[in-house]
Structure 1
Amino acid sequence: MTAKKIATGKKQKAIYWLKEIIKFTVFITLFSVAVDYWRSQDMPSEIPPKLSINTIGGEWVDITKMSYKEPVLVYFWATWCPVCTMVSPSVSWLANDHQVVSVAITSGDNNRLVKYMNYKDYDFPVINDSTGNIGREWGVTATPSIVIVKNGEISSITTGVTTPIGLWLRLFFA
């Protein structure tokens, strides 16, 4: 076999695998979008429910008012949610430079949440939804769920695992 045939074979193999990777990426993207749509169909699509309340740190938040300054990432999560442990560090990272408000659904009392936040070293505001009423008002059926609110309207909804870049892009394009 000549060197030219070997090089051509390697090139064809590389092209084959590149096509396979592209197909897989497109499939995963479409599947993720479909799952996101299905999980978030009960959530509001335009105007979010009012959310003006104190965080566990005593800070007053008004999502609608905040959203007129810059987009707000509203993060619905729970201490008992295994997937949330993968998403929460990304949310904490974003909270350094962006408006983030989280809602801890049925995760215990304020003291338990403060201890949990300190133990995990998370740094984002938390509203304690100990009864799950806020989550129900917002139509949250799965955690984690992330809603981007801009100018008083919902611009993006996603559920499940997401990356820091995915969250940042949602805020950027809101």
Structure 2
Amino acid sequence: MRRTLKTLRELALTVVIALAVFLGAQAWQTRDTPERWQHDGLLSWVQPDGTRGSGTWHDLRAQTGIAPDAPLALHVWATWCSICRAEEGTITDLSRDHPVVTLATRSGDAATVQAYLRQRGLPWVAVLDPDGRIAAQHGWRAVPVFSVLAPDGTLRHTTVGYTTGWGMRLRLWWAGRV
């Protein structure tokens, strides 16, 4: 009995330490993320059918049918990122139930991103960030990034690194409650 209690205490301590390290790393990686979306210029994007567009977030929402009052999942990724590839199925599944817009950072021009999406069979709307400028404006030095973009431009629940599907859905649910 004593041995079982000791093992449980050690396990609980290990979980608490691991959680503290994880939360500390997330806080460090998102320390420069602003409270609100920072890019006021025009965006360029590609849609799953190959249609290209440019304009503001409002224009993007209108062209893709995303309600102006809906929070949307923002997934920042790159073609060269192996962790991003591991999340592809999760993002695609999420996009079936929630509005999702992705940001292809440091991944090339529209033709390159469009070819990548087609090759991988990804039905994503991808905002283009060929030089990484948009990601840098938000303090994102690594990919993938997951954030909830509220209709008022507030960025909520930002994480850097692999995020589980349940974690993404929980963040979207929570953002809709606040």
Q: TM-score, normalised by structure 2?
A: 0.78
How far apart in 2 are the matches of 1:83 and 1:67?
30
Indicate yes or no: 2:79 matched with 1:79. yes
> What is the aligned partner in structure 2 of residue 31 from structure 1?
21
> Quick one: which amino acid aligns to residue 30 of structure 1?
A
Which residue identity does 1:107 align to in structure 2? S
Return the letter of the residue paired with 2:92: S
Between 145-154 and 123-132, report the one with greater CA deviation.
145-154
Tell me the secondary structure at the aligned position of residue 43 of structure 2.
Answer: strand
Aligned residues: 163
Counterpart residue identity of residue 47, structure 1 = R
CA deviation vs aligned residue, 1:134-155 (integer Å, no higher than 9, x gap): 1122221111111212242122
The answer to whether structure 1 residue 62 and structure 2 residue 63 are counterparts is no
CA shift, 1:71, in A, is 1.6
Give CA-to-partner distance per residue, 1:58-80, whole Å, 9 cap, x none: 25661697685222111111011
Deviation string for 1:111-166 (max 9, x for gaps)?
A: 22122212222222101111111112222111111121224212211000111001
Residue in 2 that maps onto 1:172: 173
How many angstroms apart in 2 are the aligned matches of 1:22 and 1:164?
A: 25
Query: Quick one: structure 1 residues 120 and 70, their matched pair in 2 at CA, closer, same or farther if it must change by over 3 Å?
Result: same
Q: Aligned residue for 1:41?
A: 31
Between the aligned residues of both structures, percent identity stands at 24
Tell me if structure 2 keeps the 8 A contact 1:40–1:141: no
What code does the residue aligned with 2:163 have?
A: T
Q: What's 2:159 paired with? A: 158
Deviation at 1:17, TM superposition (A): 4.4
- Distance in 2 (alpha carbons) for counterparts of 1:130 and 1:160: 20
Which residues of structure 1 form unaligned runs of 5+? 1-7
**5+ residue gaps, structure 2:** none
Q: Please say if 1:124 is aligned against 2:114.
A: no
Q: Once the 2 structures are TM-superposed, how far is the Cα of residue 101 of structure 1 from its aligned partner? A: 0.9
Instruction: Supply the RMSD in Å over aligned alpha carbons.
Output: 2.5
SS in 2 for 1:131: coil
SS of the residue 2:108 aligns to: coil
The 1:23–1:105 alpha-carbon spacing in structure 2 relative to 1, beyond 3 Å, is: same
Q: Give the 3-state SS of the residue equivalent to 1:76 in structure 2.
A: strand
Are 2:115 and 1:115 equivalent residues in the alignment? Answer: yes
- What amino acid is aligned across from residue 49 of structure 1 in structure 2? Q
TM-score of the aligned structures, taking structure 1 as reference length: 0.80
